[in-house]
Amino acid sequence: MKVLRITFWLSVALIGGTALADAADAPVDLDEIFRQAEQVLAGVDNYTAVFHKQERVKGKLLPAETVALKFKKPFKVYMKWTAEPHKGRETLFVEGTNENRLKGHEGGLLGVLTVNLDPDGARAMKGNRHAITESGLEKLVAKLASNVRLGRTNGELEVRDRGEETVYARKTTQLEGVFPKERAGTYYCHRAVVNIDTELKLPIKVQIFDAADQLVEMYGYEDLRLNPGLTEKDFDPSNADYGF
C-alpha cells in the first residue's frame, strides 16, 4: 500500500514538474504583447513622460538627451530638453496648425529666437533620425508590431526572453527580437531589445541595433503617466510656462 501511494505521488510530481517546465519553456508571443500595447494605447488620450533618446546619425552615436514630454491625441507634442547637450531647447508641434510647422527655440543665448520649421526640413532634422511627426508611443509600437508580424509571417523572427529587469524604477520584462542580418532591407533593424512595463503593458525602453550590432536608437519613457488630464493650454505656444 505504501509503495503504491509513493508511486502515485511520485507520478503526480513528475507530471506536474513536466507541466511547469513546459509552461516555462513556452515561446514568447511578441505579436500578442504588442496587441496588448495597442489596446492600452487605444484608451489613452494624453500622457507625459521624461523621454530619453539616443541616436546614431551619419554613423556617429550622439549624446543621450533628456526631454520633458507631453503628448495628446490626435497629434500634439510638446518637448523641453532638461539636460545638456540641449538644455533649454523647446519644441511644439500641433498637427493642422501653424501651417503644419513645428515651433521651436534653442536654450541659452540662442533661446531668444523662436523659429517655425518644416518638420522634414534639413534644419529640423539636424541631429535626428526621425521627424517630430514620427514621435509618440503609438508610432513606436506600430513600427515594432509591424516588423514582428512580418517576421513571424516569414518565419524569420527569433524571440528571446531575457527575464525581468528594473528600468526607471519599474518592473519590466526584457524581450529581444532578432531578424536575419542578410534581410536588413526588409526589416527595420537586426535586433530590437524591448522592456515591457509589467503593470502598464507598454514598452518603456527600446534599443535598436543594426546588422553590425551597433546601437542606432534608444528611446525610453521614464515616469510615464497615462491620461493625466492635459488640456489645450499644454499645447498653446502662448502658455506662460513656455519660452516661445
CB 218 within 8 A of CB 203: no
Model confidence over 31-90: pLDDT tens digits?
Answer: 999 999 999 999 999 999 999 999 999 999 999 999 999 999 999 999 999 999 999 999
Range of 179's domain?
30-235
* Contact partners, residue 191, CB within 8 Å, separation at least 6: 176, 177, 178, 179, 208, 209, 213
- Is residue 7 assigned to a domain? no
- Is residue 3 assigned to a domain? no
Confidence class for position 16, pLDDT limits 50, 70, 90: very low
Integer Cα distance of 242 and 111 in angstroms: 11
What CATH number is given to the structural domain containing 138?
A: 2.50.20.10
Question: The whole model's pTM is what?
Answer: 0.88
Residue 47: per-residue pLDDT: 98
Grid coordinates given for 61: 552615436
CB 219 within 8 A of CB 52: yes
- Is residue 243 assigned to a domain? no
Beta-bridged to residue 165, according to DSSP, are 172
Beta-bridged to residue 205, according to DSSP, are 195, 220
- Is residue 15 assigned to a domain? no
- Is residue 5 assigned to a domain? no
CB 64 within 8 A of CB 71: no
Total number of domains in the chain: 1
Grid coordinates given for 212: 553590425
CB 159 within 8 A of CB 30: yes
Beta-bridged to residue 40, according to DSSP, are none
- Is residue 129 assigned to a domain? yes
Model confidence over 176-227: pLDDT tens digits?
Answer: 999 999 998 899 999 999 999 999 999 999 999 999 999 999 999 999 999 9
- Is residue 2 assigned to a domain? no
Q: What 3-state DSSP class applies to 176?
A: strand
Confidence class for position 24, pLDDT limits 50, 70, 90: very low
- Is residue 50 assigned to a domain? yes
CB 230 within 8 A of CB 168: no
Integer Cα distance of 86 and 196 in angstroms: 28
Beta-bridged to residue 9, according to DSSP, are none
Among residues 59, 68, 82, 84, the alpha carbon closest in space to that of 216 is found at 59
